[in-house]
Structures are given as C-alpha cells and as structure tokens.
Structure 1
Amino acid sequence: MVVIGGGIVALATAWLLQCRGHRVRLIAPDADGPHPQESRSGSAAALGVLMAQVFQRSRGRAWRLRQTSLSLWTQWRQELSGRGCPIPFQAGLLLLARDTGDTERLRQLLEERQALGLPLSWWEPSRLQDLGLGDAESSLGGLHSAQDGQLDPLAAMDAFRRDGLQQGLELVSDLVVGLERQPTGWRVHGLSAAQAMEAEWVVVAAGLASEGLLAPLGHQRPHQPVLGQCLELATSVPIRWPCPVVWQGLNLVPRPGGGLWLGATLEPGDHADPQLLEPMRQLAGEAPGCGWLREAEVIRRLQGLRARPIGRPAPLLEHLEPGLLLLCGHYRNGVLLAPASAQWAVEQIESSLTCR
C-alpha cells in the first residue's frame, strides 16, 4: 500500500495501516520530517488545538468525526508513550467570553454539553482573575472543556514516523508526479524514482497537491489554499493558565518552559501578508489580562497552507474508485481529525479485502 503525503493525516494513516499488519510505503518530499523554516505544509505551522467537545454543533458528520478523533488521540498517545514515543499534551481548553452575547452563547453550549454528560464547566471571573486573565471589570468568565486540549503537532508527526519505522513502515522521500491505473492496482510515479512503484491501494493525503494528482484520473476536487500563521512570543510575565485559551478565534497556547504560541487561520491565498500579524497580536492583547502581548517579543514566525475544499464540506474522505482513497481538505482541523480520517481509511481498505 502507498500513502501519499507528509502531513499529520498521511502519517497517522500510514502508521495505523502498518500497525494493522499491512505493508505500507509513505511517499512525500518531506517523508523523513519537515523543516519548519522551509515547510509550507499546514501541519508544520499547526498549533495542535483539539476542539471537539466545545464544537458548536452536537450532531452530524463533523461532530462524530471530532468525537471519534478525540477518543483515538487519547488511546494513541498512551500506546505511543508506552513504546517510547511520547506526544506532549496539555489537557483542557478555555474559551473566553468577549461580551454578554458571547457569554449567553457559551452558557447555552455548556448546558447542551452537560446534558450529554460531557465534563464542561463555567469558570467565573474571580477564577480567571486568579489565573491572570483579567479583573472584575474586564473579565466575563469562560467555558472550560476538560477533555479537549492541545498536542504538539511536530512531536506527534515524529512519533508516528519513529514508531512506524519500528513497525516496518517504509519512508520514501520523493515527489509523486502521477498515478496510473493497472489491472490489479496502481502504479505510482515519483519524480526521482528510476522505476514506478506498484501498489494495490493508494491513499492520497497530500493536501493541496492532491488536486493535481487526481485531475488526470477524472476526479475534480478543487481546493482553495488558506494561509495559517503562527507567532512564537517571549512572555514578560509568567503564564498561570493551566491550558490553551481561545479568544475571538485566536488560539493562545502556553509553551513548556515559558513562551506562547499565538495563531489563527487568517487569509485566503498562498502568500503571507506580514501586515496581518501585528493586528493579530493586538487582538490577542485585548483578551482580559493579556495587554502585555501587544509588546511581547516575537521569537519566530511560522506559516503553512491549509486546503479548503471548494463546493464540498470539509474534510474529503472518499473512496474514489477501486484501490484509491482520498483524505484531504481538512482545512483548520488536520491535527484534530487525523485519527478519525486514518481509521476511516483502514475501515475502507479492510472491508474491501474481507469482501473478496
């Protein structure tokens, strides 16, 4: 089997297939690992925020995928840690209310989730003040989700890669330039490979590059590139928050040993506008108790392209034809939905093999 792509969805899928006893090759230019200063993939600049139980809807495909993934992430982190490949994880997610209307919306969400038996709670302004998140006048409270959280995307990708290699996964550093149908499978053409690879199954999980691989086969799956940007900031005051904070669409993620990640998916297109970074930092500085962020030192900037499907709901999980799967278009949720996407691919493959 061949998995095409070097992001977290591709790695999770290749790893899970290999763990299930299949022989898997993962092919991507960055198969051996991304270079954060050079990579433009969405995973390389992701913050790894897992927003599942505070998702605005509580039914439908998007809700089910999120809940499945959150459960699988818990299981997989335990498995990988037990085999010497731990993934740093911060438990909990805090959504700060910005006005009275937002407070009402979050409190209604709290009631709906508690009715489902999920461990969400309301943190009053006094509790937030103790954490350095505002004062009696600026803080309106916030919704805390105990089982959501944040994991380090690069560490997760490295864990899949290292444990996958131990399980027998083969990593091939090459750019796939074409797929060719065969009577009993597929032929995968790489840019630098002297000979094409033969595969019974091909999983295309190559982000924005997926569109170009599928079009010659008659599958039109257009995507829009959307740029995500992240700032790593030095903190002038100790951060006392116990978990990542979400404020007006911005994610504020404390880093081990100090520092803060600040990020959002900001703009359509594939070219960064540096002028948008300063407004992002200023908006974060409007969060209760976070005025110091406006003057925080920028240590580095990261950016990556997310693939947003055009005319179809994200993500695209499709069995296009015999032996060909598409896992793409995760947009802002590649890290969160990687496990559910991988599990879906495994189910498609193994159910087809069983039916023979």
Structure 2
Amino acid sequence: MIGAGLVGRSCAWELLRRGHRVLLLDPLPLDSDRRCNPPPDTGSWAALGVLMAQVFHRHSGRAWRLRQRSLELWGQWRQQLEERGQPLPWRPGLLLLASSAEELERQQRLVADRQAMGLPLELWSREQLDDLAPALPEAALGGLFSPQDGQLDPAPVLEALLRDGLERGLQTCCDGAAQLERSPAGWTVQTRGGQALQAEVVVLCAGVASAALLEPLGHGRALEPVLGQALELALPPTSNWNTPWPGAMVWQGLNLVPRPPNRLWLGATLEPGDHPDPAALASLRRLGGAAPTWLQQAEVLRQWQGHRPHPVGRPAPLLEHLEPGLLLASGHYRNGVLLAPATAEWVADQLEAPSGDLLTKP
C-alpha cells in the first residue's frame, strides 16, 4: 500500500479486517511509537471532513453510488472501531445555505427528488435560519438540511485507523516509493532509501505523486494539486451559541464547522498550484463579503493549508485496476474523507475477485 493518507489507511484497514497482510509505505518521519506521522499540511490532515452524500446534486451514476455507499460504510466503520476502543468524532447534520433565488430553486428540486427516494432532506425557511445563533449570513434566502450527512474530524480518524491497523498486524515502512517494477512474483517497489520491496499486489494511494510512479509503466494519469487554506477561529462571547446550529454549514462552497468550546473551522479555498494566495485567505476570512459581525470579530487561532489531488481530464476519483496486481485508488480531490470507505471496499473486492475477473468499475 503506497500512501498513508486517509484513503491509504482506509484501504489498509479494510484489507487487514478481511485477513490480508499489508505493508503501508509512505515517506514520512516516525513518531515515538514507530508510526508514520504525516505533517499537518498533507491533504488528509488538512481536510475539514464535511461529508456531502445525500445532498449531492446527482441521483445516479458512479459518483452517486460511491457517496451513498461510503456514507453507509462510515456508519458501520464507526460502530466497529468504537467496539474496538477507537471511537470516531462524528457530528451529524449538514445545512446548505442558499445565496440566490436560483440556488434556492435548485435546493427545492433536490429536496423533492430526495424525498421521492425516501431520503429525509428538508427545506428551511429564512425564518428558521433566523432562530439559529450565532446569526447566519443575512443574504441567505433559505437552506437545505440533511440530517444524515455530517462531519468527521480527519486527524482522529487517521489515528484510529492506524492504531487499530497496527493491532491487526499492519506493517509500516516510512520510506518513499521511487519506482515500480514488474517482477515474476508480482511487483518490486524501489524506495528512495534504496530498499527493494517485493509484493504480489501494489495499491497506489499516493495522491499527486501517483502519476510519476505510473508514467514509466505506460499508464498516463495526470494529477494536479489544488491548494486549500483553512482557519480555526475563537468566537467572541457575544456570538451566543444558545441555539446551536444543526451541524456544519455550507455557504457558497465554504464550510463552517462548529468546534467546542466556542470555536469554528472555516474553509477551504480552491487555489491551483502550490502557493497560497493571501487574497484568497482574506476572502475566506470575510466569507466572500457575507461574514456576520460575530465572524468578523472572531480571533484567528490557527491557519493551515493542504493539497487535494485533482485528476486532469478524468472524473474524480481514479479507481482503476490497471493490470494484474496494480490498483490505482487516488485523485479524490475534495472528497477523500467521504469516499475513503467505498474506495477501500472497492480495492478489497478487486483483490478478492476470481482470477481473471477484474471488477474494473466501482
């Protein structure tokens, strides 16, 4: 398994749970417990963990199926990990705010469609939004509430998957993959540190770095980094959380995640390339010009950034059985946290499929 982000750890955990042997390879420093410990600017650790499944604008196709299956699996995984002493911090509820008449109309159609499917989405009026505190942007015309979507804290999830994986026999190697080579027994992974690791199967979950490993093998899969900046804010005492929000909020693509006590995560920007734009961060801080007074007065406690791997010319994510013993599970873009369980299930199903029967589509 190449890549120890949330997707890589999820794939490793699912394979271990099914009885497979797994070596997790990632070029990261070791912590005091001899575990790979990613820096906080990697994509998984920088994510906000907002899960948008039932509010997805489509109602069929691969993307829809993956989202619904992942939401279902997250419920099962939370229960299984909690039973093994690894509880995950899950906050149910997601409220999408409508900033225009056109968006409000789209939400109305979406709610009607989802209710016809038996899914419990609700339309919230401006009057219902006015009952919430702290105050929401005045420009919000209404909202779409999804009680079964929600938010997971990525860092504790990453730690829980690793800790439980180690208890199940996970092996780790904190070195970077430099080259993949076909071998009679399967694959050889040449590492940056000079090791030659043998494996029957390689699962590639290395984000943007996946492209460089695949190119010499004749598999062109272009991936580009899209940077996202985020903030943690301490809210002023006047913000008044006496009528709590029903979960995380989304305003014009920006996420607002309540954090106890009296704090808030705000993010994330969409910036091509590697270098953060101060103007984009300033716009985020102002909520695109719609920040209520309490948000403008909030104190910035922490600022961070991370990169999302975005497939070029292909829909996200890239889930492909490229050739015998070589699977690609990368390019999840903004939905790595959401889609990790369904990705892991797909990878495990690929490996357990009858010989010659490649399940190429999830």
Q: TM-score, normalised by structure 1?
A: 0.93
Deviations 1:264-314 (A, max 9, x none): 241111111122111111126615xx3321232111111111111111111
Q: Which residue of 2 aligns with 1:95?
A: 96
> Which secondary structure state, in structure 2, belongs to the residue aligned with residue 86 of structure 1?
coil
Q: CA deviation at 1:74?
A: 0.6
RMSD: 1.9
1:263 aligns with 2:264: no
Q: Which residue of 2 aligns with 1:8?
A: 6
Amino acid at match of 2:306: G
Aligned to 1:337: 339
User: Is 1:325 aligned with 2:327?
Assistant: yes
Partners of 2:186 and 2:354 in 1: how far apart?
A: 13
Q: Deviations over 1:122-165 (max 9, x none)?
A: 22222222212648975522110010000001111111100000
Alignment of 1:142-221 (within 5 A): 142-193=143-194, 195-221=195-221
Alignment length, in residue pairs? 348
Alignment partners' CA distance in 1, 2:135 and 2:105: 19
Give aligned-pair identity as a percent.
57
d(CA) in 1 for partners of 2:267, 2:338: 16
Q: Please give the alpha-carbon distance, in whole angstroms, between the structure 2 residues aligned to 1:6 and 1:17.
A: 14
CA gap of 1:9–1:85, structure 2 versus 1, over 3 A, is same
Is this contact kept in 2: 1:27–1:175, CA < 8 A? yes
Deviations along 1:209-267, one digit per CA (max 9) or x if unpaired, are 10111111111111111001111111112442130000011000011322111112411
Matched residue SS, 2:226: strand
Q: Which range moved further: 246-255 or 235-244?
A: 235-244
Work out the CA distance in 1 between the residues paired with 2:225 and 2:273. 5
Distance 2:208 2:138 in 1: 45
Letter in 1 for 2:22: V
Counterpart pick for 1:28 among 26, 44, 66:
26
Contact 1:284 1:294 in 2 (8 A): no
Partner of 2:66: 65
Preserved contact between residue 177 and residue 189 of structure 1 (Cα < 8 Å): yes
Closer, same or farther: CA 51–350 of 1 in aligned 2, 3 Å: same
SS at match of 2:189: strand
Q: Deviations over 1:110-132 (max 9, x none)?
A: 10100000011122222222212
In 2, are the aligned partners of 1:125 and 1:141 still within 8 Å (CA)?
A: yes
**Distance change in 2, residues 1:97/1:177 (3 Å):** same
Q: Secondary structure at the match of 1:260?
A: strand
Shift of 1:184: 2.1
Deviates more, 1:225-234 or 1:293-302: 293-302
Instruction: Determine the C-alpha separation between the residues in 1 that align with 2:161 and 2:264.
Output: 25
SS for the counterpart of 1:4 is coil
Q: Which residue number in structure 2 is paired with residue 272 of structure 1? A: 276
Tell me the TM-score normalised to structure 2 length: 0.92
**What is the CA deviation profile of residues 160-211 of structure 1, one whole-angstrom value per residue up to 9, with x for unaligned ones?**
1000001111121111111111012001112225x31110000000001101
**Which one-letter code corresponds to 1:162 in the other structure?**
R
Helix, strand or coil at the partner of 1:66: helix
Greater Cα shift, 134-143 or 276-285: 134-143
CA distance in 1, matches of 2:123, 2:22: 46
Listed as ranges, the gaps of 5+ residues in structure 1 are none
- Describe the SS at the equivalent of 1:43: helix
Q: Aligned partner of 1:34: which letter?
A: P
C-alpha distance in structure 2 between counterparts of 1:211 and 1:116, whole Å:
39
Alignment-derived partner of residue 295 in structure 1 = 297
Cα distance change of structure 1 residues 320 and 168 upon mapping to structure 2, 3 Å threshold: same
Q: Offset of 1:355 from its aligned partner? A: 6.5
What's 2:111 paired with? 110
**Residues 228 and 304 of structure 1 are in contact (CA less than 8 Å); yes or no, is this contact kept in structure 2?**
yes
Change (3 A) 1:216 1:136: closer
Give me the whole-angstrom Cα distance separating, in 2, the residues matched to 1:180 and 1:170.
Answer: 21
Partner of 2:234: 234
